[in-house]
Structure formats: C-alpha cells, structure tokens
Amino acid sequence: MQLDRGICTVLHKTPTHEPGYMPGFSFTVLHKGWYGELSFETAPVYPTQNREEIHVDKRIRILQCQTINNHDTVVLADVAADADLSGLTVYEVTRAYHGWDEESAELITDLSLEVIRP
C-alpha cells in the first residue's frame, strides 16, 4: 500500500493540571510521517455479546511505531507539539494494530480513529 495521502502527526497527551483545577494538557510528538487511508465499515455485521463497540471515523496506515496506543491524538497535518490545533480536525486513536503489510512485507501500524474535535 502506498502511503501517499499526506502527512500525519501522532501526539501523546499528558495532563499538566493540579487536582481540582481546570484540565490542561501538554503534547509530545510520537510519530510524524506519510499515511495512507484504509477502507472500513461503520457497523459490525454480526454483533455479539461482550463485544467492545467503538466508533470509527477514519482508518489510516503508517510505518510502524509501536509507542502509539489507544487515546493518543492524531492530526492529519504536519504540526508541532506546541502548535495551535484550532481549525484542524483532531482524532483520537481507538485501536492500534502493529504488524506487517502482506504486499510489501513492511512493518506497519494501522490506526482506527474517532473525531474528538471537528
């Protein structure tokens, strides 16, 4: 698969606020690089008992970065950790798959994303 849709930035969010105060966060860049879009379905065909239901707005593939976990922040643009994210669509990782691409044998990470701020 070609990673040719654009550059994405994956950020790790760390709370900086004191207990009882207004929430504040700082961001650390985990990964920055080209991504490709994957196809996906929005509803399971056969829902089963005890199945985790998650909402997916977009799925992307990047070169492997095993430090990416659920709840990390993704912006489909080249941004810095201290950049103003207003005006950009911000996503949260709902699932990260770290594996390899069967076509090219490259190590990849597939991210399922949910919009948290349009």
Count of C-beta atoms within a 10 Å radius of residue 9: 23
Q: Pull the structure tokens for residue 105.
A: 């044998």
6-63 pLDDT per residue, tens:
999 999 988 898 888 898 888 999 999 999 999 877 666 666 777 767 788 999 999 9
Of the candidates 99, 100, 91, the one whose C-alpha atom is nearest the C-alpha of residue 72 is: 91
Q: Quick one: CATH architecture of 6-41+54-117?
A: Beta Barrel (2.40)
| Extents of the domains making up the chain | 6-41+54-117
Whether the CB-CB separation of 93 and 76 falls below 8 Å is answered with no
pTM, full prediction: 0.84
59 strand-pairing partners = 38, 112
Query: Which of 113, 97, 82, 118 has its CA nearest to residue 8?
Result: 113
Residues contacting 34, CB < 8 A, separation 6+:
3, 4, 5, 6, 7, 8, 62, 63
15-27 pLDDT tens trace: 898 888 898 888 9
